[in-house]
Amino acid sequence: MTDFEKVTTGMGEECGVFGAYDLKGEDVSSSIYYGLFALQHRGQESCGIAVTNTFGERKFNAVKGLGLVNDVFDEERLSELGGNLGLGHVRYSTAGGSRTENAMPLVINYIKGALAIAHNGNLTNAIELRQDLERTGAIFQTTIDSEVIAYHIARERLNTETADEAVRRAVKKVKGAYALVVTSPRKMIGVRDPFGLKPLCIGKRDDTYFLASESCAIAAVGGEFVRDVEPGELVTISRHGITSNKELQINPENEARCIFEYIYFARTDSKIDGVNVYHSRILAGKTLAESFPVEADLVVGVPDSGLVAAKGYSEATGIPYGMAFHKNSYVGRTFIKPKQSQRESSVKIKLNVIEEVVKDKRIVLVDDSIVRGTTSANIIKMLKKAGAKEVHVRISSPPFLYPCYFGTDVPSNEQLIAHSHTTDEIREMIGADSLGYMEVDKLKNMVGDLGFCDACFTGNYPMEVPGEDISHAFEK
């Protein structure tokens, strides 16, 4: 998804969450920092950490800011935080600009003291819930769903014995996708929506428990992966260990993990609900090989997201796998984009073809998606200029056709080349010799028995979604 221009369809956003609780009282701030580092790919707009000391006052110290984890935190800020229970968040921006007040975690004071909250996902009834709250006099200072959830927790807390009970009751009211971490002054609570749309897992290192969006973050801090939080499960971590409540669980058949986590979003070294992301991408490549075989000399992937599927394609076909590109690892977010008028192009600055590898070869080029098509066209042009005789493009996801209401950032229709063109038209536009998209009914190859959501390709949403009659959404 090399040329994604970040545009969202709603209030939602992709994000990463990471919680840590050291029962013996040692500082977890730096573990949270490194955990967020490992989740940085899930959100680059803003980040934050909030921590408390469970042996001290019932309050949280928080640092939040716009930018990468490395931009917001330095040694001084991190050491000032200090606490043995806390959570962090990386946020993926939406249209409408960067808003500091929307950075998470959200720290609130309420009847029972303080509470910090961070979530990944998008509520489908957030607007409704906000309006309900406003009708009772509530005020909102952000536009993030966490504030709505926090309000409900605070209200439920008036009539409940424990924080986890209040969280449990609160999440019953919300609909949509969420992986939620809440830290009360003495507990760390994790919840995953009943469909399991967003991932969340548990780790442990000596006396420290972790909750993380992806298992790679647990590895990064030297922890052991314990297990996934199950769809619909609420786990409470306290000095009594882990307790679990599965009241919200639904029939596993109806579970609907976001398939895009496997295709593109998650890190290749993560494992979600028992399925290795690496493995699922190898299988995607193999599936493409089966659906769209071709005579060729070399299989190459577009760095970094197409590499593993390319490996799979190579393994299935026996066509050698090659490294056709050098990716400039210094091109970051603040990179000055070339103007249309300049001879340099963003693609060339990011990627360069290694001529020797592709010269006189028939190439299979694997990528995870095509958005506008301009990047693909540029890459193919570069390959051909370097002497590639043929370029056969294989895409490890079906074309996006429907909006995502659950927080995955799918470009809007106008930007999607697939929305207004046939596959053959696209093939011609990007200059490929052949083009094959993952077939929708083959997606299940990637994740085995796991229930997953493919609504962005099919329009089959796992739950009711807001907005107009979806079936006609793109028909005009």
User: Could you give the residue numbers annotated as active site?
Assistant: 15
332 binds its own copies (CB under 8 A): yes
Q: Quick one: 206 or 247, whose CB is closer to its own copies?
A: 206
Distance CA 414, CA 422 (A): 15
Please check if 47 is assigned to a binding site. no
18 binds its own copies (CB under 8 A): no
Number of residues written out for the chain: 476
Q: Quick one: 182 or 256, whose CB is closer to its own copies?
A: 182
Please check if 453 is assigned to a binding site. yes
Give me the least distance between CB of 460 and its own copies, in Å please: 30
38 binds its own copies (CB under 8 A): yes
H helices of 50-123, in order, are 69-72, 75-81
* Residue of 66, 91, 68, 69 lying closest to 78 (CA atoms): 69
The angle that helices 126-134 and 145-157 make with each other, rounded to 10 degrees, is 50
SS3 of residue 370 by DSSP: coil
Distance CA 60, CA 81 (A): 9
Q: Quick one: 155 or 394, whose CB is closer to its own copies?
A: 155
Query: Taking contact as CB under 8 A, which single stretch among the options 241-249, 255-263, 285-293, 315-323 is the one that binds its own copies?
Result: 315-323
**Rounded to the nearest 5 degrees, what angle is found at the Cα of 429, between the Cα atoms of 428 and 430?**
95
220 binds its own copies (CB under 8 A): yes
334 binds its own copies (CB under 8 A): yes
Binders of its own copies in range 240-279 (CB under 8 A) = 267-269, 271, 276, 278-279
Q: Which residues of 220-238 are buried (b: 16+ CB within 10 A; e: fewer)?
A: bbebebbebbbbbbbbbbb
Q: Quick one: 339 or 472, whose CB is closer to its own copies?
A: 339
Q: Quick one: 168 or 311, whose CB is closer to its own copies?
A: 311
Distance CA 41, CA 100 (A): 19
Interface residue with its own copies, options 74, 253, 449, 475 (CB under 8 A): 74
SS3 of residue 241 by DSSP: strand
Bridge partner list, 19: 87, 211
Give me the least distance between CB of 459 and its own copies, in Å please: 32
- Confirm if 196 and 452 have CB atoms less than 8 A apart: no
Q: In the stretch 140-169, what mask flags binding to its own copies with x, by CB under 8 A?
A: xx-x---x--xx--xx-xx-----------
Query: Taking contact as CB under 8 A, which single stretch among the options 38-46, 242-250, 287-295, 412-420 is the one that binds its own copies?
Result: 38-46
139 binds its own copies (CB under 8 A): yes
Tell me the two tokens of residue 381.
Answer: 């042009």
Binders of its own copies in range 417-476 (CB under 8 A) = none
- Cβ contacts of 412 within 8 Å, gap of 6 or more: 7, 9, 403
Q: Which residue has the tokens 């290192």?
A: 205
DSSP 8-class letter at 397: S
Please check if 368 is assigned to a binding site. yes
340 binds its own copies (CB under 8 A): no
Give me the least distance between CB of 221 and its own copies, in Å please: 5
- Cβ contacts of 206 within 8 Å, gap of 6 or more: none
338 binds its own copies (CB under 8 A): yes
Tell me the two tokens of residue 103.
Answer: 């950075």
- Confirm if 261 and 199 have CB atoms less than 8 A apart: yes
- Cβ contacts of 144 within 8 Å, gap of 6 or more: 11, 102, 104, 106
Interface residue with its own copies, options 55, 56, 98, 109 (CB under 8 A): 109
Q: Quick one: 383 or 404, whose CB is closer to its own copies?
A: 383
Binders of its own copies in range 44-73 (CB under 8 A) = 68-70, 73
Q: Quick one: 162 or 291, whose CB is closer to its own copies?
A: 162
**Binding-site residue positions for Mg(2+):** 305, 367-368
Binding site residue list: 258, 305, 367-368, 404, 453, 456
Which residues are annotated binding-site positions for [4Fe-4S] cluster?
A: 258, 404, 453, 456
